[in-house]
Structure formats: C-alpha cells, structure tokens
Structure 1
Amino acid sequence: MVPLPFLLGYFLRLLQLLSTCLAFSFVVSVGTWMGAVSNWSVFVWCFCFLVTLIILIIEFCGLQSRFPFSWYNFLITYACYAALLCISASIVYPITYIWFFPHGRSQDHAIAATAFSCIASVAYASEVAWARTWLWLGVITGYMVTVPGLLKGLETFVACVIFAFISSPHLYVHQPALLWCVAVYSVCFLLAAAALLLNWCDCDNRLPIAFPTFLLGLTLLSVLLYTSALVLWPLYQFDEQFGGQPERSSCNDGLIYSVCTWDQQLAVAILTGLPVPSSLQVMMSSSWILI
C-alpha cells in the first residue's frame, strides 16, 4: 500500500503534468506563439512538463536511490522553482498578449493557456505546502523545506528574472553605478546558488565552519549588496539629475509583443527590493539556529 504522503505527491504531479501540457498546447495550436515573452512562457510550460514527467517515471520505477543527492531536497527545490516560473508566466503572458488579440479563437486559447498555467502554479505550490506539512510531522527532512531554504530559492529566482529584464546592455552600460548593480545581481545569485547546491549535494557538513554560520555570512553580504543596488538603480534610472527618465513615455521600441525599456527599468527596481526582506528573514532564522 502506498503511503498517503507519496500518494498525494503522485496526484499533484499528474495535475502538474496535465495542466502544463494543456497550457503550451493551447498556445502552439493556434499560432499565438510569437515574441520573446511567448517563447519564454512556452519554454516554462514545456520545461515543467518534461521534468515532471521524468520525476514520475523515476518514482514509478523506484530509481530515487540511484541519485547521488537528496531526492526529497531535489523535489522540493524543483516544485518551488516550478511554482514561481508558472506564476510568472501566468502574469506576464496575459498582460503582454491577451489584450492585443482580437475576440475569437486566438484570444480564447490564450485565456485557456493562462488558466491552466494558474492551475499548474497552484499544483506546484500545493506540493511545497504539502512538504512543509510533512516536515512538521517529521516524515521528511531537508533544508529546502524550511523557511530559510524557500527564501533562498526565491532569491535566486528573483535574480534570474532580473537577468531577463537587463538582457539588453543599453539599460546599464552608460553608467558605472548601473554596472555595479548588475555585478551585485550576479554575485548575489552565485552566493545563493552556492548555498543551495552545497546543501542539495549534502556537502554542507564538509565546510570548515558550521553551515548556519556560513549561510549567515553570505546572507549579510547579500543584504549589503542588494541595499546598495536598491539605492543606485532607481537613482540613475529615474532621476533626471543622474541622466534618468522619471516618467514613462510612449513605447517606441518597435515591437508589439515586447516590454518597453522604461517598464523593464521599473520592474528591475521593484524586484531589487524583494530579496532584502527575505534575506533578513534568513539572517534571523540562522541567528536563532546559532543561539
């Protein structure tokens, strides 16, 4: 008899598989797959579908023990990132596309794809919540199931989204301060990814210092770096005295299915503020562990 925790996990993964498959199928079937945002959304749904399918096959074949890392840490890490990816696709895709389609089959399919993307987001988020519940009951363990682990995952995801928005060098190459901000995003991403990889590969006990102390030092550095970017990026992008543009003008980027330059700058400014409170929460959690 399959234990209830694992049976629920199978059900959630089947729901994830079905919803992501339908999401990208609706987009591709009517030719609404155009532009960078649509390409990225379809990639998100296809990637989540493929990885979820591989996970199901591995679990049905009982091959989890063949992998040289914590399988449960991998599942929770993947569910966390998949939930964030699907949520972002559920927001960005309809904002960029649905309102531009005329009423008809294309718009209906875009709405259906968004709906199934939202279902996939709920399914992945439910898996994370399910793992949190069984952590409290002592059934499973793992760093990624804890609040500091989830916040570290959120920090790396936010950094990846920022990289997508600053993929055009013209947003920052004209100012050294903005180049500093890009360096901050890169360094903080690498630090957070290093912390997750060390724990995921069960190498955290090989450090010369305790892992909570190591994590506390990395997080403190990330807070300081992100705080500097939180000040410099809006200052040099939106203050006229520093060559910025305080108000949004009409989008003249020449592409219908794209995000305007000013909107990209604003999105990066907002996203820069997200890792600071999460990092502070990680610091508080790590401090309590040390005590």
Structure 2
Amino acid sequence: MVTLDFKTLTVPVGILRILEVIFTCITFSLVASAYYTTNSFWAWCMFTWCFCFCVTIFILVLELTSLNSKLPISWDDFTTSFAMLATLMVLTASLLYSIIFTCSGCGRQIAACVISFLTFILYAVEVGLTRAKPGEISGFLSTVPGLLKVLEAFVACIIFICLDFTIYSTHPGLQWCVAVYSICFIFALLVIILTIGRLLSRFPAPFNKVLIACNVLAVLMYITAVIIWPVYSFRDRQRPNSCPVICPWNIIIVVSFLTCVNLIAYIVDTVYSFKLVFFTTQT
C-alpha cells in the first residue's frame, strides 16, 4: 500500500528539495532559451542541472509515497551522497558556465548563473542538514569520511574529463599518475556502492581498518602524482601566446590543481577516519 506522507514536504530538508527542483528547472530553461551549442562544457552544464532536477524529484516522490522504505538500499546514505554530489556538480557547472558562456550583455546567461549558484547553496545546506552529527548513529556516507569519499570520486571524474591522451601516452611518469587517479577512484566508488547497497556487513575484513590502510596508500600515491604530473607535463612545454580559457596548457594546470585538491581530501579523510576508529572507539 502506498501512503502519502506530506510531512516530508514541510520539513526543512523537504522545503530545500522543492526549492532545488524549482531553481534547477529555471536554470536549464534560461540556458536552453538563450542559445544551443555542441560545446562539451555546455552539454556538461545542461546535464548537471537536468540530472539534479530529475533525481531530486525522484527523491521527493519516493519520500512522499513512503516507497523509499521499501527499497533494498540505505536511503539516508543515498540521499546524503546525492546531495554532496549535486553540490559539487552544480558548483562546477556554475563556474564553467559563468567563465565560458557569459558576457556583460548576456542577461539570460547571467541570470542562469546567479540562480545556479543559489542552487549550489541549497544543496550545500542540505548536506549540512543531512550530515551525521557527532554521537548520531547513521550510515557511513552521512559522516565526514563518507562525504569525502564522494568528493574524492567526483574530483577524479573531473580529472579524467580533462586528461589528454596525447599528453600522457608517451610519458611513463604521467601514465603512473593516471593509474593513481584510476585506482583511487575505483576504491572510492566501491566504498560508495557497498555502503548504499548495505553490503559492508558482508565485507570479509574490519572495514574501518581496511579503509584507513587504503586511505594511507592513496595519500602516498597522490603525493607522487602531485610531484610527477607537473614535472613531466610542463617539461619542454611553454605557454602559447594565444591560450583561451580552454587550451591544453590551462587543462594541465587544472589537472595539477585538482590533484592537489584530492591529496588534501585524502589527508583529511585519513586523519578523520583514524580519529573515529582509534579515539572515538576507545572512549
């Protein structure tokens, strides 16, 4: 039996999700009405707003009809991880669209950027509301280490999008960096899938300690990538005189920056996980 629970729409999180649906709808409507282009970054921005719009409606409908309790997944982990993912995706889309596709006389594009940044704030507030507070019993993805796993996987995806095969294919050092991004991404994605699918209890080893060991290994691997990627990428390569926003030189800088971001994320993840396992457990 399907039972309607209208309280899910009146609680703070429900109100936030309704606003998110409205704002994402307005954003992609303004962008679509401005002009259409086959540019991959424009397509990414449109996909982001449409994807967040559809999934947020999906969450609202399932919670309104109480069907979320019948799904064989950890619903709290799913909604929290999606809110974190949507926060990162909308922030990226807002920055890309405002940098590449707006101008001083582009009224619709500017309005879309403003509403998109407001949508980012809404999703960020939702993450803050759904995140597990100290002392609460909740799923792993609702904790800081779990949210960091979503961040790490997302940053790795952006790195993959920016990678140019012609740059790293001839350098073993750069190929090692790509291997670092891939291995760490697979592990982060595996943790997310196991958590949402409620499969952590079947893990054949102490999950928390395995997680710390893998985080330490990821930190060491990313330290090498932070050093090797810029050394080999910029060797014998000078910045061209004509370098627009999207050019190989700038893409290399973006990958270098995102590598540092993920290194910091893994360090914080390791420290926080170590604190939760060895200090919180003892107390």
Same fold (TM over 0.5): yes
CA shift for structure 1 position 285: 2.2
Identity across the alignment (%)? 35
The question of whether the paired residues in 2 share the 8 Å contact of 1:234 and 1:269 is answered with yes
Number of the residue aligned with 1:283: 270
Number of the residue aligned with 1:271: 258
CA shift for structure 1 position 9: 1.3
Number of the residue aligned with 2:141: 144
Looking at structure 2, the residues matched to 25 and 65 of structure 1 have their Cα atoms a distance apart, in angstroms, of: 33
Q: Secondary structure at the match of 2:221?
A: helix
Looking at structure 1, the residues matched to 87 and 277 of structure 2 have their Cα atoms a distance apart, in angstroms, of: 31
Number of the residue aligned with 2:281: none
CA shift for structure 1 position 137: 7.3
Q: Secondary structure at the match of 2:187?
A: helix
Number of the residue aligned with 1:201: 197
Q: Secondary structure at the match of 1:209?
A: coil
CA shift for structure 1 position 249: 3.2
Q: Secondary structure at the match of 2:246?
A: coil
CA shift for structure 1 position 248: 4.7
Q: Does 2:10 align with 1:11?
A: no
CA shift for structure 1 position 135: 3.2
Number of the residue aligned with 2:79: 75
Looking at structure 1, the residues matched to 63 and 267 of structure 2 have their Cα atoms a distance apart, in angstroms, of: 36
Aligned mate of 1:35, from 20, 35, 39: 39
Q: Secondary structure at the match of 1:56?
A: helix
Number of the residue aligned with 1:164: 161
Number of the residue aligned with 1:135: 133
TM-score normalized with structure 1 length: 0.88
The one-letter code sitting in structure 1 at the alignment partner of 2:112 is: A
Number of the residue aligned with 1:118: 117
Q: Secondary structure at the match of 1:150?
A: helix
Cα deviation, 1:54-82, whole Å, max 9, x if unaligned, reads 11111111101121111011000000000
Aligned mate of 2:27, from 23, 33, 41: 23
Q: Does 2:228 align with 1:236?
A: no
Q: Secondary structure at the match of 1:135?
A: coil
Cα deviation, 1:221-245, whole Å, max 9, x if unaligned, reads 21121111111110011133xxxx2
Structure 2 portions without partners, runs of 5+: 279-283
TM-score normalized with structure 2 length: 0.90
The one-letter code sitting in structure 2 at the alignment partner of 1:108 is: G
Q: Does 2:173 align with 1:174?
A: no
The question of whether the paired residues in 1 share the 8 Å contact of 2:91 and 2:117 is answered with yes
The question of whether the paired residues in 1 share the 8 Å contact of 2:76 and 2:142 is answered with no
Looking at structure 1, the residues matched to 110 and 27 of structure 2 have their Cα atoms a distance apart, in angstroms, of: 10
